[in-house]
Structure 1
């Protein structure tokens, strides 16, 4: 009788174990779905929070940003809506016009946000370095100036890329020329046998100077002369050159200042 009684108990224990395992898997799946939903909600909240932050910052500089965004949205939406309504139907025109209208509004906000970000740092020591920090792959940018006048705080920053060596100046055009010539003489012996060109771009609002917001575009327009491997080789040569660091004034290092990259990219 004992073996006959033990068989139903074993079967019931197996059924209970299977049921418990099934419930555990269902609970784990539900928790996983909840985590994904919370993560997605947090991403959406973070995305809209960044947009709100960029819009608020831009509006403090450009109070008409809302009108410009609305104009871009309705103009783009109107063009796509009419076009696809005539070609297909109004539903297709609506579905295609809305996203393109929103995209146009975002592009306008990004452009205005970039201009606002640069306007906030323009004229400050290290503003050129902050603009250069937005250069992407293929460019080697020094965070600190390679030459600096401690009295006037005129400075020169170094960028190495496919166009060669690019020296970016900060300071009035006439006054910074002496610093440029000294820097040229220091780098020329190293690059003399390599044929690497040396470009000088003066940042600022004066004559023959490049505004801060156009600095990166101006650098990218320079003629390409080097390959990726040659860029790395030139950077190693220049890095090996001993640099006499200029005295930094007491207090916060102005060359640590950087703009909000998220605001610049939108």
Structure 2
């Protein structure tokens, strides 16, 4: 995963311009609702990329935020933005499936991370490391690919999903960000029940799925496009707790 995201980091401005609509009008507000109040809390953002969601988390009132990613290119980009617009976020290059217990965080977030696991074993390692970094009573908030969405082209959202019909659990497929030319990433098919099963085996409880919905603040001229995206959402939210 780090190699393909090192490549994306080099052309991130164009990728960001395409995915911004879905992020700002659906994913951001839905993610904020799932997070809830963060005042005084410590948050670990796993697979933070260039830090878009990490910065949002800090601005939501968290006391401390640490972002980790195994892509050096993405972490360098995040650190460059932090140097230009300092918020006090720490960014670390770290393999997500082998990371140590850095600290007992109140919240662990994982934005578009779980669908990169290429096997149950790989996802289990990641789940165990996220669990180990949570304090008792801490929460996991994950934004991930919607395995139930249609595989048809999604120009409204800026993505085209090339998922095969009736995919096997863990089957690899391509997602294109509709830049010029398209920017491709490879992900894996994980049904809801498979993800919950793996996280449950790691010790998580209290699972709840949340829809990615249209924000109340969407501009009138963007409302129809936002509704099209919400009708066949490319992502979904899952929350869980460490007992």
TM-score by length of 1: 0.21
Higher helix share: 1
User: With structure 2 as the length reference, what TM-score do the two structures score?
Assistant: 0.22
Higher CA-based Rg: 1
Higher strand share: 2
Q: Which has the higher contact order (CA 8 A, sep 6+)?
A: 2
